[in-house]
Amino acid sequence: MQRRSRGINVGLLMLLSQVVHVGINNIPPVTLATLALNIWFFLNPLKPLYYSCISVEKCYQQKDWQRLLLSPLHHADDWHLYFNMVSMLWKGIKLERRLGTRWFAYLITTFSLLTGVVYLVLQFTLAELMNQPDFRRNCAVGFSGVLFALKVLSNHYFPGGFVNVLGFLVPNRLACWAELVAIHFCTPGTSFAGHLAGILVGLMYTQGPLKKIMETCAGIFSSTVGYPGQQYYFNSAGPSGYQNHYPDGRPRAYEDTHRNYDVYTAGLSEEEQLERALRASLRDRALDWRKVWLGGVVAQGVPDTVGSERKYQKWSNTLRVPTHARRRNEETAPPQI
């Protein structure tokens, strides 16, 4: 753990330029709030780093458990903040759109606490197995563990492809492990156990029972937490809404609430949405025209008889339109798509 540098925070300025370049309105709310919170605590730390970092000695032996809450939100210097928050920016945009804002907020909170707990378990285990008491005093700070957990989720939800790690193309499914080794050997002072804890938490969610446990807890304590499957679409105007999905893939009805514009766009551009709306409008007009036309024929040629639905259905199936009428209607009817 390094001391925070003094003077001009170049890393912070570069981070702000990245946020401006992406556009604040294009960043999902939880991702943006996470960036803002980390920047705030960097500029206005609640406690010095020595009293914010987590270690077995400080948390377990001295019972200072508040460090589990403070350590992810504090960074050693502006470059530490820059690299972590730029990584959070791109991972957050993808995952929050994929999982939904409420579930992503729940995920970030859970991962922030759980990576600290797993880090303490790893450090305690290494100290016991290797008979190295120094592992209990190793103190870690920063958001890196959570980012490695999100990296595992990103590779899980967006599989395939390759990533460049130190000039080598590595499959996405192995990228987090390659980055773990590369950072450990190329960046002195980083916490190998802290990053490994993040990977293990991510695997607990994608391959283990963590996701089911989180769903169960969300169902017990709140009925408003959005579950994975909610999808958001963000453009320059911010979030345009979401729609839940049933397990069988059938969409639920939209929530009709005071012009909240909760319309699921399926990731379509504005031009594609307009084209689809025009097609649907033309299709509806064609169906309305057929109903009006058939209604007129029925009113003129078929008497209304109570209890004769079956006869009417049989008659309607055998209904034939005169040639001259069919030709005239084909000339005036709107096109069907």
Catalytic, 191? Answer: no
Q: Which two tokens stand for residue 328?
A: 């005239």
Q: What is the per-residue pLDDT across 164-175, written as a single tens digit (0 to 9) for each? A: 888 888 888 888
The more confidently predicted of residues 277 and 218 is 218
Residue-level pLDDT at 291: 52
Counting residues of the chain whose pLDDT is more than 70, the rounded percentage is 63
Higher pLDDT, 137 or 220: 137
Looking at per-residue pLDDT, the higher value among 24 and 287 belongs to: 24
d(CA 233, CA 242): 7
Q: Is 171 helix (H, G, I), strand (E, B) or coil?
A: strand
pLDDT beyond 80 at 100: yes
Give the Cα separation of 156 and 278 in Å (integer): 36
Query: Which of the pair, 233 or 276, is modelled with greater confidence?
Result: 276
Mean pLDDT across the stretch 59-86?
92
CB 183 within 8 A of CB 104: no
Q: Which residue in the list 74, 75, 80, 195 is annotated as catalytic?
A: 195
| pLDDT tens per residue, range 202-231 | 999 999 999 999 999 988 866 455 556 544
Kindly report the average pLDDT of the chain as a whole number: 75
Nearest Cα neighbor of 84 from 39, 123, 119 is 39
The predicted pLDDT at position 121 comes to: 95
195 is catalytic: yes
Local confidence band at 290 (pLDDT 50, 70, 90 cut-offs): low
Q: How far is 216 from 236, CA to CA, in rounded Å?
A: 35
pLDDT on residue 111 = 96
Q: Which of 27, 4, 175, 180 is nearest to 81 (CA)?
A: 4
Catalytic hit among 52, 112, 144, 154: 144
Q: How large is the average pLDDT for residues 180-188?
A: 86
Check residue 308 and give its pLDDT.
Answer: 46
pLDDT above 90: percentage of residues in the chain: 44
Eight-class DSSP state of 188: T
pLDDT for residue 141 is more than 70: yes
Query: In which band, very low, low, confident or very high, does the pLDDT at 70 lie, cut at 50, 70 and 90?
Result: very high
Least confident of 79-93, 162-176, 271-285, 296-310: 296-310
Beta-bridged to residue 164, according to DSSP, are 169
* Pairwise CA distance, residues 335 & 17, whole Å: 51
pLDDT at 65: 92
pTM: predicted TM-score of the whole model, two decimal places: 0.65
